[in-house]
Chain A
Amino acid sequence: MRNVRLIYKKQGRAKYISHLDMNRLMLRVIKRANLPVWFTEGFNPHAFITFALPLSLGFISEYDICDFRIVDDNFSNQDVKEALEKCMPEGIEVVDIIEPLMKVKELCFAQFELQIECDENAKKTLIEFLNKDEIIVEKMTKKKQIKTFDVKPKIKKLSFEELENGLKVSLLLPCGSEDNVNPMLIFDEAAKNISFDIDLVKRGKLYDKNMQLFH
């Protein structure tokens, strides 16, 4: 038995599949692909799979991670890849099957890219907003209380690309169990005073604390 790591992309209409639904989807993909995966041995046996990082509903991603175990050693990574590719629904694309070298808890940063549609004026104010030294945002705690904090120090990298009818914003944000920042925290705050539409949110590559690609 060995651990394998599926790296996949989620695009198009598939972005409307919630994290909970992704779990069910992946179990069914694995069953369709007839993969020799390890099943839990409880009262309700099911294929054992874990996702490294949940993805918000409506985001696309180009580097999502799902881990499971293969019990048949004759099954190579290439075999797994080919079997899964045949059974993936529209919008979910297998990037690679690898042997996991990092642990999920080593995950530290996620790259985000937002495509924003707005007029020139809003573009300017939005850039100013993001460039401020302090960005106070509101977050709902688990106890349903609103907590405010400065998110700016958590934004590790920030860059802009001006588009004809808007702006492309790239950010590197903390992710994982230690600290996690959803880009919508920042942009919901911005939307209180600036008028813009978010056309697309893409989560890109994932990294560890040394900015090594998560693999």
Chain B
Amino acid sequence: MTEKQLDLLLKGVQKPGRYTGGEYNQVVKDKEKVDVRFAFCFPDTYEIGMSHLGIKILYSLLNSVEGVWCERAFAPLPDMEENMKKAGIGVWGLESLDELKCFDVIGFTLQYEMCYTTMLHMLKISDIPLLSSERKGLENLVVAGGPCTCNLEPVADFIDLAFLGDGEDSMIEFINLYKDYKKKGASKQDFLQAAAKINGVYIPSFYDVSYNDDGTVKEVKPNCDAPEKPQKAIVQDLDSMFFPETFVVPYINTVFDRATAEVFRGCIRGCRFCQAGMMTRPVREKSPQVVSDQAKSLCDSTGYDELSLCSLSTSDYTKIEELLCDLLDWTEKDKVNISLPSMRIDAFSPELLEKVSKVRKSGLTFAPEAGSQRMRNVINKNLDEDVILDSCKIAFEGGHTAVKLYFMLGLPTETMEDIEAIGELAQKIVDLFYEMPNKPKGKGVQVSISLATFVPKPHTPFQWFGQNELELVRKKQQHLVEHLTTKKIQVSWHESKTSLLEAVLARGDRKLNKVMLKLAESNCNFDAWDEYLDFEKWEKAFEECGLSMEFYANRQREFDEVLPWDHLDYGVTKEFLIREMKKAEKAEVTKNCREKCAGCGANKMLERGTDCAKCKVNL
């Protein structure tokens, strides 16, 4: 597509900056001289995709390989799609403005289940056959990465190859192999056979799934010499790991438009609902000096004046104080604001708060996840009410007046008393504010409760749990609202139908591929957005395929059931997950990894070995 054609397409379109590319730091190579063209697709809008750290890392990583040109592509919103349809033009790479059809590899990052339909829609409107079996050649190879590949089964028929775990090493191996095989003129089959040997690569078509009469999985077996249990890849050493020196700087406002520095991977906490915490084990840290240098390079080369530290729980970073000192050395001079998302409440020391607010005051968000102490023990969120209140007190004293609290609803063993406890905790925070003699003057307090419906996820101790039915979820939401007595507390929740669909897809099996195909045929798109989700289409597709959502979402599974993702090895053992689930039922807590090793099994992935005595015994 030429720039002139782009001009015509953009007539009357909202926020054209989403579709034009040309941003500072984008990578442009001579397409005649590159060997492999890779389209990195984020199946959502530009604003969301460009906020994601993974795409920035892998974009720079792939472009660092000679002969490889990686471009970005995002999903067009309906107004743009309308114009594209009229002009007969599919989704394009922002750098070259060439359509996806021109690319060797089309890679999707699957960050949340609800983007599956958008992924299929992007392929569809780009005139690329949806089913892997219909794409015969080596060109237009569709690959996927991101957390959702830990159970890719519902979209397995559409994807040629998936990356499990950290992509930094496996993608380099993959792209070099592709380059060789393309040069040789090899077939797609030959390439996939060779690629299956790469650590962290999973080729869905190399596995056959059989089912029991009741619809559960009987067995998943490789149909060739692919590994029996593909294992996720991990980067062993984060200090020497590739990290981009710079980011593409968007023109339009994106959700997170700032420099991001990753401080560690994995999580020591072991919250039983948390998929990221389980799947990214073992914990690996970056040294403060490396983080600080990388962050400085990013800020210098992008011109960002905001830096965010990224990890699953930044306050668990062992050298957080040292890092903040290193950072403040230059951020104050350069007038860069540091923001610390994912801070755990109990590590919020006054000194830390002081250091951060020295630069700029940002909002305050806590995630107690559950209202009652019993419930927090069940989910292993080892956090006492006192600690929550103390943190709020510190925050109020520091001048904050708005607190946002995240809770989950529909957790295992939950009762109505546990729901009421959410409101009671919020009330205690409100009371605390008014009891303070030195509260900020002339200001009221605002406590916002954000309720998410719990979605059980694969590779977690709660993977067997049947999600609460919609009706019960609504009853619980209503119960909480009725239990509140002040306007200082506001409650909001996500669309529960979305949570139901997430639960279906997260723990779905290959039978769902025909549902996905039907959804693609009926042009489902942007289902992660409440305003675009058409639940009736989903209901209809399930009905037509003779499948029930309840089977996937709400059914309590047995420990001995073969789960659709059991053949994928994410480090933590099934024995550990069962142990944790049983402890959850008794509201027993498990100590964090630093206090005491729980023997999850992930440490065996470390080449340097483990310093934990218990793990050594288990090995």
Contact = CB atoms under 8 A, between A and B. Distances in A.
Interface in B14-28: 16-17, 20-24, 26
Contacts of A87: 24, 303
B335 A13 contact: no
Given A39-B335, A45-B335, A27 B303 contact: yes
A122 interface: no
A206 interface: no
Contacts of B26: 90
A17 interface: yes
Nearest to B28: A90
A209 interface: no
B360 interface: yes
Interface string A189-215: 000000000010000000000000000
A3 interface: no
A80 interface: no
Contacts of B10: 16
A25 B250 CA distance: 9
B22 A89 contact: yes
A21 B252 contact: yes
Contacts of B303: 27-32, 87
Nearest to B7: A199
Contacts of A13: 3, 6, 20-22
Contact-residue bracket for chain B: 20 to 34
Contacts of B414: none
Q: Of residues A25, A31, A90, which shows the largest number of chain B Cβ atoms within 10 Å of its Cβ?
A: A31
A91 interface: yes
Nearest to B257: A24
B16 A57 contact: yes
B304 interface: yes
Interface string A5-32: 0000000111011100100110111111
A31 B305 contact: yes
A12 B17 contact: no
A145 interface: no
Contacts of A29: 303
A74 interface: no
B300 A32 contact: yes
B167 to A, nearest CB: 28
A27 B306 CA distance: 12
Given A32-B300, A44-B360, A17 B17 contact: yes
B20 A16 contact: yes
Nearest to A198: B11
A28 B249 contact: yes
B207 to A, nearest CB: 44
Contacts of B23: 89-90
Interface in B301-359: 301-305, 334-335
A103 to B, nearest CB: 28
A21 B251 contact: yes
A105 B413 CA distance: 69
A81 B360 CA distance: 31
Contacts of B21: 13
A14 B302 CA distance: 17
Contacts of A90: 22-24, 26
Contacts of A58: 16
Interface residues of A, number: 27
Given A16-B10, A27-B303, A89 B253 contact: no
B250 to A, nearest CB: 9
Given A57-B16, A89-B24, A17 B251 contact: yes
Contacts of B301: 32
A39 to B, nearest CB: 7
A119 to B, nearest CB: 17
A28 B304 CA distance: 6
Nearest to B249: A28
B304 A12 contact: no
B16 A16 contact: yes
Contacts of A28: 24, 249, 302-305
Nearest to A29: B303
Contacts of A12: 3, 22
A92 to B, nearest CB: 9
A25 B360 contact: no
Given A32-B301, A44-B360, A21 B24 contact: no
Q: Of residues A16, A18, A32, A90, which shows the largest number of chain B Cβ atoms within 10 Å of its Cβ?
A: A16
Nearest to A14: B22
Contacts of A24: 253
Contacts of B334: 31
Given A14-B22, A27-B305, A32-B302, A21 B17 contact: yes
A25 B16 CA distance: 16
A66 to B, nearest CB: 15
Nearest to A30: B303
A119 B584 CA distance: 76
Contacts of A30: 303
Contacts of B305: 27-28, 31, 46
A32 to B, nearest CB: 4
Q: Of residues B7, B300, B304, which shows the largest number of chain A Cβ atoms within 10 Å of its Cβ?
A: B7
Contacts of A31: 299, 303-305, 334
B22 A18 contact: no
Contacts of B3: 12-13
A87 to B, nearest CB: 7
Interface in A24-71: 24-25, 27-32, 34, 39, 44-46, 57-58
A16 B17 contact: yes
Interface string B1-43: 0010011001000001100111110100000000000000000
B65 to A, nearest CB: 23
A24 B305 CA distance: 11
Interface in B252-304: 252-253, 299-304
Interface string A126-145: 00000000000000000000
A87 B300 CA distance: 11
Nearest to A22: B251
B3 to A, nearest CB: 7
B617 to A, nearest CB: 53
A72 to B, nearest CB: 15
Contacts of B6: 13
A30 B7 CA distance: 29
21 contacts: A13-B6, A13-B22, A17-B17, A17-B251, A21-B252, A25-B251, A27-B303, A27-B305, A28-B304, A31-B299, A32-B303, A39-B335, A45-B335, A57-B16, A58-B16, A87-B303, A89-B22, A89-B251, A90-B22, A90-B24, A90-B26
A-B pairs with lowest CB-CB distance, top 10:
A28-B303, A13-B22, A89-B24, A31-B303, A32-B303, A16-B16, A13-B20, A17-B251, A90-B22, A16-B20
Given A14-B22, A89-B23, A89-B249, 19 more contacts: A13-B3, A13-B20, A13-B22, A16-B10, A16-B17, A16-B251, A17-B17, A18-B252, A21-B252, A24-B253, A27-B303, A27-B305, A28-B249, A28-B302, A32-B300, A46-B335, A57-B16, A90-B26, A199-B7
